[in-house]
C-alpha cells in the first residue's frame, strides 16, 4: 500500500512486498458526462471482502481528481482523501461503492488518464493512468467486468467490449471479460471508420474498424490487412481466436508510446497505424504491421492472461514481442527480421544493460513504473522466450503455451507461473534458467578452440559484469547454436544447440580429417556479447560461405567493426580485404537484396564507441565519425564503376507495393544511392527526388542530398508538399537533424525547435527533433556541450507538461561514462541541472538519479 511519502524522498515499490488487495471487485459501472474541461465520472463498484486476505484496508487510488460525492450502499460517506487516493471505513460484507468525480481532460498534457488530442477524447491507462479517471484499486490483479455509458454530443463514442444501447447523446458498452483497469479505454470525437469483417475459424463474425480523423481515412487499408493477417496467424500458430463481436482500433496524434492493447479498443499513436505509399516508408509499413500484430496478440498474452503486478511486465511484453517477431518472420523474411532485431537489441538494449539503468528483465524495485517500459523488459524479455523455445524445442514450446492458456486464462500471473508451465509440460528443471529474469547485464561469452586427433573442441567461458545493485552474477543457461564448415565451405555439422550451464564448459566433436571452421551463435541464439579471436581471413570466409544468414551477416559486421576501430585507434586505412569482400557481395545479384542492404549498413557510431570503451579506449566521437565518413567514401570510390549499374538494377518500377521483396530492393537501392551521391555530386539523388512516386524513395533521396549538403531546394519543396501532413512533417524535422554534420547538428536542432510547426506538446514532433539529435552520435556529443545543453533545456521545458516522455528521453545520457572527462563533466552538469529543477516529476527524477549514480 502507498504511504504518503515526504515529497523529497520518492517512495520505492518492491516486488518482495506484494500482497493481494483486500477486496474483490465483482462489477464496475461507469458513466462519463463528457466536457473538455469538466468531465464528470460516476462510478458504481460492487466490492466484496477478499477471503484470502485477513488484514484488509480499503484504499482506492486516485490522482488529480475532484471528489464530488461518495456513497456506500446509498449512504453518503466522507473518505479520507490524499494526493494519491482515498481510504474509507467499509462494511465486512459485500457493498456498493459510488462516487462522482470531476476531471479536466483538456488540461491533461501528460497524456495519461483521459485527455484530449486534436479535440478528441481519448485515454491511456497503462500502467497507472486509470487512477486519474476515477477512484479505483488501480492494480492489475484486480479484475472485473465493466459496463460503460458515455454521455456527450460527440459523433463517435467508444469503449471496451461489445456495443450496447446507443442514441442521441449517449452510447453504452459492455465488456464481458474481466479485466484490470489498465485495459480500460474510452474514445469520443469526430471520427470516421474504415470498416471490415473477419470470421474466426469457429465461425464467429467480428466487426473490425479503424477509426481516424476526417482526412486520414485513406491511410487505413494497410493496417486493416495487417489486423486480419494477425487474427488468422494467431489462430493458426497459437490456436487463439478473438473473443468479442467488435475489434476497434483508433489513431491518435498525441500519444506517449506506440500503441495500447485496451480490450477490444486498441489505441494507436497515429504514426503506428496510418500508412500510405505516398507518405510512409517501407520501414514504416513493416513497423505498422508488427505493432498492429503486437497489440492484437496482447488480447491473449496480456488481456486474457494478465500480470499480477507491474514487476511481471515482461510476462506479457516479452511474450508478445516474441510473438510479433514470429509473425513478421512468417509474413516477410525470417533472416532479415532476425538481423534487424539484433541491430535494434544492440542499439537500444545493450547500452541499457551495460550502464547505470541496467535492470533485470523482471525488475525488483521501481519508483515510477513507466520508466520500466524498456528495451530490457520488451526486447530482452523476448530474447529470453526465444532461448526457452530453443532449449525445449518447437513442439514442447507450443505444448507449454497451450497449458499456459488453459491453466491461466482469466488470471493475473507471475513469471513463476510461466516457468512452472514449462517445467510441468516438459519435465525440465528451469531453476537456473530463471537467472535470465532476475540478473541484469549482458553476459560476455568467450570461446577457445582446439583440434587434436580428429576431435574438435570448443571451450566457452561466460561472465556477466556487475550491474547497479547486483555485484555477483551466477552462470546462466546459454543455448549456443553452432555449425561447422569445411575450408571449402561445406557444412559438416548442421546447426546444433549446445546447452551451456557452467561458467566454463567444453564441447567436442569427433571424426574430422581437417580442422573445421566454426560458425558460432547462429541465429543469435542468446543475447550475449561473443568475443572470439578470429582472423580477418576466417571472417571473410564466413561472410562468403556461412549457411546461417545471421552469422554470415555477423561476420561482415565484425570485419566492419575491426576495420573502423583500427582506423580510429591506429589511423589505419579502411581494411582492403573487407572492402573487397563487400564489393563482391554487393555485386552478387544472386544474393537477396535485403540481405545485401543489411551487409552494407555500417555499424553505428555509438556501437563503435561502445566497442572502443569495452577495449579500454576512451571513444572520441569526432574521430569515430571521421572514420565512418572515410570508410564510406573509400567504399564508394572503390565501387564507382559498378554503382550506376547497381543503382539501375535495384530500381523498382511500377506501382509501389509495400511487401518484403520490394522493400528489400528499395533498401539496397537506398544504400547504393547513398554511395553514389558521394561520387556523382547528387545527380542521381536529385533525379530520384523529382520522380519519386512513394515516400521510401523520396525520403531516401532527400536524406542523401541533405547529408551531402546539397538538399536545400529539395527540403523546401518537401516542406511545401507535405506541410499539412503531420506524420510526414515528423520525417522532415527528424531528417534535418539526423543528416546534419556533427558540428551543425545542435544548432539545426535548436532552430527547428523554433519552427512554427514545432510543438513540445506533441511527443512525435518532440522525438523527431530531440530523438534525432540524440541519435546523431557525434552531433549530440559535440565537445562544447551544446548538444547536451539543448537536450537538457528541452527536457526541463517538457517535464512539467509530460513527465513520461521527458523521463524516457533522459536515457540519451545513459552512456555518459564512456566518454572523456571533459564530456563527462558537461553531461554531469546538465543532469544535475535537470535534477535541481523545482517541481521535477517523479518520472524524470528517478531516471536522472539512476543515471547520475
Ligand atoms: N502495453 C503497451 C504495449 O506494449 C505499452 C503501453 C505502455 N504505456 C505506458 N504509458 N507505459 O503495447
Ligand atoms: Zn505490448
Ligand 2 midpoint to CA 311 (Å): 14
Q: Do 14 and 6 contact (CB within 8 A), yes or no? A: no
CA atoms within 13 A on the CB side of 697: 28
Q: Is 201 helix (H, G, I), strand (E, B) or coil?
A: coil
Taking the C-alpha atoms of residue 380 and residue 75, their distance in angstroms, rounded to an integer, is 51
Ligand 2 midpoint to CA 300 (Å): 11
Please, what is the average pLDDT of the chain?
97
Other CB atoms within a 10 A radius of the CB of residue 712 amount to 10
Convert the pLDDT of each residue in 41-74 to its tens digit: 999 999 999 999 999 999 999 999 999 999 999 9
**Confidence label for 8 from pLDDT (cuts 50, 70 and 90):** low
Cβ–ligand 1 contact at 300 (below 6 Å)? no
pLDDT at 6: 44
- Please indicate, yes or no, whether the overall pTM of this predicted structure exceeds 0.95: yes
Closest CA relative to residue 296, chosen from 259, 330, 271, 341:
259
Q: Which ligand is nearest to the CA of 319?
A: 2
Looking at residues 322-346, what average pLDDT do you find? 98
Active site residue 295: yes
pLDDT at 574: 97
Annotated catalytic residue within 295, 317, 368, 605: 295
Convert the pLDDT of each residue in 463-507 to its tens digit: 999 999 999 999 999 999 999 999 999 999 999 999 999 999 999
Convert the pLDDT of each residue in 557-583 to its tens digit: 999 999 999 999 999 999 999 999 999
Which is the closest atom of ligand 1 to the Cα of 370? 11
Per DSSP (E only), the strands in 253-330 are 259-260, 265-269, 306-307
Q: Which ligand is nearest to the CA of 272?
A: 1
Closest CA relative to residue 730, chosen from 743, 746, 717, 719:
719
pLDDT at 3: 44
Q: Which ligand is nearest to the CA of 323?
A: 2
Pocket test for ligand 1, best of 110, 257, 287, 842 (most atoms within 8 A of CB): 257
- On the question of pLDDT at 791 being above 90, the answer is yes
pLDDT at 1: 40
Q: Do 834 and 793 contact (CB within 8 A), yes or no? A: no
E strand or H helix at 117, and its extent?
Answer: strand 113-117
Q: Do 94 and 49 contact (CB within 8 A), yes or no? A: yes
Q: How far is CA 2 from CA 13, 266, 769, in A?
A: 9, 30, 37
Which is the closest atom of ligand 1 to the Cα of 295? 12
Closest residue CA from atom 8 of ligand 1: 126
Cβ–ligand 1 contact at 314 (below 6 Å)? no
The span from the first CA to the last CA of the chain, in angstroms, equals 27
As to burial, measured by CB atoms within 10 angstroms (0-12 exposed, 13-18 middle, 19+ buried), residue 220 is buried
Cβ–ligand 1 contact at 782 (below 6 Å)? no
* Ion ligand 2: residues, Cβ under 5 Å: 317, 320
Cβ–ligand 1 contact at 370 (below 6 Å)? yes
pLDDT at 2: 42
Q: Is 261 helix (H, G, I), strand (E, B) or coil?
A: coil
Cβ–ligand 1 contact at 605 (below 6 Å)? no
Amino acid at each position: 500500500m502507498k504511504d504518503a511519502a515526504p515529497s523529497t524522498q520518492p517512495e520505492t515499490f518492491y516486488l518482495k512486498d506484494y500482497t493481494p488487495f483486500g477486496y474483490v471487485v465483482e462489477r464496475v459501472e461507469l458513466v462519463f458526462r463528457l466536457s473538455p474541461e469538466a468531465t464528470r465520472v460516476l462510478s458504481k463498484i460492487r466490492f466484496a471482502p477478499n477471503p484470502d486476505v485477513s488484514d484488509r484496508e480499503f484504499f482506492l487510488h486516485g490522482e488529480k481528481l475532484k471528489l464530488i460525492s461518495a456513497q456506500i450502499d446509498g449512504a453518503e460517506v466522507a473518505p479520507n482523501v490524499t494526493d494519491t487516493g482515498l481510504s474509507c471505513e467499509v462494511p465486512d460484507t459485500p457493498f456498493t461503492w459510488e462516487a462522482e468525480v470531476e476531471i479536466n481532460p483538456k488540461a491533461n498534457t501528460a497524456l495519461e488518464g483521459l485527455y484530449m488530442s486534436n479535440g478528441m477524447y481519448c485515454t491511456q491507462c497503462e500502467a497507472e493512468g486509470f487512477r486519474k479517471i476515477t477512484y479505483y484499486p488501480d492494480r492489475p490483479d484486480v479484475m472485473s467486468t465493466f459496463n460503460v455509458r458515455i454521455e456527450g454530443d460527440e459523433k463517435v463514442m467508444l469503449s471496451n467490449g461489445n456495443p450496447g444501447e446507443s442514441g442521441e447523446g449517449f452510447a453504452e458498452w459492455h465488456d464481458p471479460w474481466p479485466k484490470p483497469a489498465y485495459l480500460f479505454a474510452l474514445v469520443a470525437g469526430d471520427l470516421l471508420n474504415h470498416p471490415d469483417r473477419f470470421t474466426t475459424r469457429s465461425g464467429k463474425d467480428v466487426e473490425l474498424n479503424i477509426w481516424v480523423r476526417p482526412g486520414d481515412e485513406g491511410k487505413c487499408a494497410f493496417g486493416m490487412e495487417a489486423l486480419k493477417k494477425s487474427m488468422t496467424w494467431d489462430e493458426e500458430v497459437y490456436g487463439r481466436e478473438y473473443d468479442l463481436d467488435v475489434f476497434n482500433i483508433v489513431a491518435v496524434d498525441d500519444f506517449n508510446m506506440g500503441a495500447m492493447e485496451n480490450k477490444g479498443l486498441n489505441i494507436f499513436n497515429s504514426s503506428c497505424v496510418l500508412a500510405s505509399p505516398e507518405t510512409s516508408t517501407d520501414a514504416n509499413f513493416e513497423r505498422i504491421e508488427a505493432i498492429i500484430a503486437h497489440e492484437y496478440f496482447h488480447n491473449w498474452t496480456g488481456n486474457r492472461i494478465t500480470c499480477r503486478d507491474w514487476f511481471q511486465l515482461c510476462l506479457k511484453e516479452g511474450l508478445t514481442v516474441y510473438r510479433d517477431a514470429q509473425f513478421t518472420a512468417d509474413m516477410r523474411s525470417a533472416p532479415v527480421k532476425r538481423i534487424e532485431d539484433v541491430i535494434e537489441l544492440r542499439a537500444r538494449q545493450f547500452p541499457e544493460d551495460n550502464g547505470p539503468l541496467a535492470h533485470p528483465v523482471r525488475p525488483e524495485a521501481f519508483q515510477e513504473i513507466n520508466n520500466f517500459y524498456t528495451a530490457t523488459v520488451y526486447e530482452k524479455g523476448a530474447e529470453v522466450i526465444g532461448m526457452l523455445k530453443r532449449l525445449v524445442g518447437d513442439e514442447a514450446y507450443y505444448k507449454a503455451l497451450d497449458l499456459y492458456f488453459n491453466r491461466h486464462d482469466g488470471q493475473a500471473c507471475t513469471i513463476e507461473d510461466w516457468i512452472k508451465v514449462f517445467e510441468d509440460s516438459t519435465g525440465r528443471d528451469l531453476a537456473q534458467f530463471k537467472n535470465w529474469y532476475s540478473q541484469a547485464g549482458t553476459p560476455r561469452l568467450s570461446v577457445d578452440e582446439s583440434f587434436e586427433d580428429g576431435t574438435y573442441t570448443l571451450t566457452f567461458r561466460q561472465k556477466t559484469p556487475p550491474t547497479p545493485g547486483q555485484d555477483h552474477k551466477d552462470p546462466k543457461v546459454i543455448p549456443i547454436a553452432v555449425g561447422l564448415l569445411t575450408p571449402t565451405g561445406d557444412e559438416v555439422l548442421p546447426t546444433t544447440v549446445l546447452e551451456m550451464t557452467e561458467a566454463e564448459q567444453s564441447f567436442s566433436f569427433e571424426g574430422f580429417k581437417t580442422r573445421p571452421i566454426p560458425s558460432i551463435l547462429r541465429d543469435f541464439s542468446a543475447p550475449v556479447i561473443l568475443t572470439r579471436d578470429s582472423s580477418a581471413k576466417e571472417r571473410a570466409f564466413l561472410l562468403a560461405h556461412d549457411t546461417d544468414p545471421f552469422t554470415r551477416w555477423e561476420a561482415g559486421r565484425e570485419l566492419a567493426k575491426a576495420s573502423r576501430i583500427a582506423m580510429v585507434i591506429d589511423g589505419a586505412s579502411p581494411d582492403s580485404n573487407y572492402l573487397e569482400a563487400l564489393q563482391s557481395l554487393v555485386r552478387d545479384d544472386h544474393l537477396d537484396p535485403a540481405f545485401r542492404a543489411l551487409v552494407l549498413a555500417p555499424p553505428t557510431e555509438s556501437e563503435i564507441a561502445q566497442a572502443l570503451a569495452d577495449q579500454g579506449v576512451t571513444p572520441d566521437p569526432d574521430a569515430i565519425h571521421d572514420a565512418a565518413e572515410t570508410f564510406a567514401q573509400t567504399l564508394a570510390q572503390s565501387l564507382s564503376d559498378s554503382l550506376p549499374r547497381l543503382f539501375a538494377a535495384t530500381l523498382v518500377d511500377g506501382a509501389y507495393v509495400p511487401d518484403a521483396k520490394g522493400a528489400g530492393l528499395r533498401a539496397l537501392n537506398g544504400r547504393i544511392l547513398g554511395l553514389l551521391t558521394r561520387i556523382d555530386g547528387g545527380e542521381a539523388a536529385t533525379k530520384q527526388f523529382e520522380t519519386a512516386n512513394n515516400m521510401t524513395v523520396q525520403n531516401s533521396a532527400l536524406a542523401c542530398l541533405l547529408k551531402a549538403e546539397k538538399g536545400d531546394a529539395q527540403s523546401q519543396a518537401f516542406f511545401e508538399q507535405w506541410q499539412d501532413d503531420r506524420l510526414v512533417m515528423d520525417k522532415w524535422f527528424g531528417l534535418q537533424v539526423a543528416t546534419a554534420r556533427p558540428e551543425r547538428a545542435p544548432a539545426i536542432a535548436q532552430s527547428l525547435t523554433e519552427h512554427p510547426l514545432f510543438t513540445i506538446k506533441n511527443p512525435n514532433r518532440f522525438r523527431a527533433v530531440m530523438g534525432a539529435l540524440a541519435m546523431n552520435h557525434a552531433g549530440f556529443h559535440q565537445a562544447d556541450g551544446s548538444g547536451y545543453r539543448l537536450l537538457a533545456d528541452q527536457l526541463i521545458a517538457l517535464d512539467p507538461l509530460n513527465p513520461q516522455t521527458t523521463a524516457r528521453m533522459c536515457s540519451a545520457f545513459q552512456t555518459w561514462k564512456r566518454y572523456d572527462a571533459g564530456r563527462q563533466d558537461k553531461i554531469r552538469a546538465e543532469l544535475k541541472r535537470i535534477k535541481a529543477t523545482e517541481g521535477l516529476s517523479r518520472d524524470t527524477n528517478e531516471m536522472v538519479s539512476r543515471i547520475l549514480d
